[in-house]
Structure formats: structure tokens, C-alpha cells
Amino acid sequence: MSMLNKVLSGILVFTLAGCSEPVPSAPAASKQPDESGVYPPLLTSTEARSLILWVAAEKRQCMAVGPTHCLQIRFHPDEQWQLFYGEIQGFAYQPGRLYQLEVSEIMLPDPPADAPDRQWVLQRIISTASE
């Protein structure tokens, strides 16, 4: 087979492959953000786990994609505060207030490599105090 025939055969194969019908893919499980840009919690088959945590009265400077301010949290009153880089869905933080919260921790199936593998959703504010 001559070189010209090989090239023409290759072009024909690619042309015919491009004419085949696409294989339908499963719809992506995504939701749209609300007017404030916050995405609603994703529903998963994974059961949520309940957590009790404290949120400090002030945020601290931290580095995420760029400089920002993060909540400070702890899981026991005797622990040191640690920076929390995520969000708690449904929680409206107010500076100057110490919070004790109950949140649901939902594990997210197949999160993107640059995204968290869990989501926290506020269940209730157990207590709040001014500092």
C-alpha cells in the first residue's frame, strides 16, 4: 500500500469515527449556588456524623488560595484553637461572639483533588456568648 493510500485510509477512519453517535453520560449531580454564591449541601448516600465544636469570637489571618481570614475552631473547651479553612453551611458568623455548635459532617463522594472531602452543615447553635 502506498504512502498516499495509508494517509487517505487514516483520514477516512478518523472521519467515520467522528460521525459516530456520542455515548450518553450519566448526568452530573450538581446544584446551583444561591444569590450569595453559596452552594446548598449535596445529598449523598453517606450518613452524616454529628459533631459538637466551638467557634472563637474572632477570625485569624490564614493562607488559602491567597491571604484570607479563617474561623478558629476546637472540639473541646480545653483544646487550643485551630484554623478552619472551610465553611459551615447555614452558619452566619458574627465577630465578638463565641459559639458552641452542633454540625453534621457529610463525606462527599469523589471530590475534586483541590476540594474538601467533607461538608459541615449547621444543625443548631447550642450556645453563644459575647467576648
Q: Which residue has the higher pLDDT, 98 or 35?
A: 98
**Grid cell at residue 119:** 461538608
In total, the chain counts a number of residues equal to 131
pLDDT confidence of residue 38: 59
Residue-wise pLDDT for 18-73, tens only, equals 443 433 333 334 455 566 555 555 554 456 799 999 999 999 999 888 899 999 99
DSSP-assigned letter for residue 44: -
Residue 74 backbone dihedrals phi, psi, to 5 degrees: -155, 160
Q: Is the pTM of this model over 0.85?
A: no
Q: What contacts 83, CB < 8 A, 6 or more positions away?
A: 60, 62, 70, 71, 72
CA separation (Å) from 73 to 70, 116, 126? 9, 17, 15
Beta strands in 5-96 (DSSP E): 49-55, 60-63, 67-74, 82-84, 88-89
